[in-house]
Structure 1
């Protein structure tokens, strides 16, 4: 489905979106609860979270495809909470391309412009501009069945962009593409969004996708937002245990107090309470030399590390430009990620490892991060 614009021939002069106290209920199920969100003009904001967390419901409610149970939605200074979707000047791109099979690329792009009230000359100019940006200008007279999956997705995106909407909403738009094409297409989408300076709300469960394209990420869980920030902030400074463990591949290692003792970690100075959990990312674990110092080049910049602890190397898995190691000690496991594999580290053998103590994260019993 694609909503139609009534804004005329000129693009929106702003593009800000704000959501206040948004709640969406289905009978006894609360899908979204008291959600607050703002999107800056021209920003690409990603709603990221596991399946069922409410991210698609949030997008659909902002677009007007679902009615809010409570709360308000504003586009710039205008409240649109009760407006029909066709009056909100929103364009949608879904994971299914939803192209008209009997129409050419030109026909699919022309269709959403018929109700906008622009001249045929302006419509033609927009179509040619968009297809050139999408590198689809040589396929204007081609029907969807003759296009590849990536090309069909470009047409679906172009059909949304050609209207120059106030807000572009994208719900898992790349999920039907293979892995290589997803990487290529998301880079193209990001470049196009930046060139057109169009406010975009993007839904995905793929953290790598979110980290690569977003200006900011809103991490959702159980119908509410856990944290909003730049990809770097979300990764480096998570506000709670959920965000810390959800963001990162492989996920952050979480250690309870008993395992903290097994690994020989002293709680970082400055902690005002004893943490219920200590987290360490796989890339902050290093093989150690006999004198207890990191043995790889990856320790550059590391000023403090934990005492060396012997682990059995259960598995070494090459993953492109890195190696992931599964380490075990007394039925406790850690995952380490190394850019290079030092000599002497072998599967099935014991090796000493140290942790970067300055990069540890501590969480209290509620899961909230403890400043250290």
Structure 2
């Protein structure tokens, strides 16, 4: 690979890692697709793997130095406030301006009921990663943009502590100056170090969600590092290598095999290699989380920090989240008409206890569930209990 192509590949990887939305393997595959007409794909994949590993390590090291509240956190706060106020607000949405304009109405049940929209797309995010700030498209569904909607968007951004560059002209998008900093958690923070390992096992989904698309030839090392720790609870995998096949599934913070062996969720390679089970240390501040962000249904274990980031970022129309603690306590929440409802069901009594709450209250409920393993919904103001 010549120097220009190599530099182009490094820039692409660095931008994709900086955007923060793609997993390690997605970054590698997007890099291969980006340059596959220029370089032999096998050589390109090996180099992309190595560069991506280096960039992930650098990104996570930088992330450790970030302040508690970043400019992207401020941007998320502004978007959530706009969404709750009836302006459909989406981040890193669609590939480009035209696709975003065509698709944003499909993110809500009835776009005619919304007061307007605001979004930035993938190319905008890439520009922001490079230090150019982010441009926001805004307007009314089925009509030309209005200065009133633009002014409301600008006001929300300013209230969140961001610098807005916009002169009120509706033919211009709103520009926001910011230091781009999207945190990586969970599967988006996992990466292998060093060169790509050999493909040495065959993976089959034997029960559960078939959309968990990791079937076929895999590396046992990569499988254990990038997939098994976040295996959906209903999925069982059959992993066949040189020895006897291993059927593995996850329960909270541990992995179990069909022959009764157990390991921590990040220690699955031992199980795949047929090693005997050993004691494992329970993982602190972990929750089993299911949520719908308006586009996809997610089901995976999350640290408290990741769970809080999800709650802060999901749109406010038709989204929900259910968190399960180690001992089985449940805190669930959903948005409706711009208001957040937080509750805890009691299956034995067939009742639910809940109240409308602020984001801060919802975060406190999740924090108690994760750190103290108890449900504190009854402590909310205005709480009530009703039958199912």
Q: Is the TM-score greater than 0.5? A: no
Which has the higher Rg, Structure 1 or Structure 2?
1
Question: TM-score scaled by structure 2?
Answer: 0.24
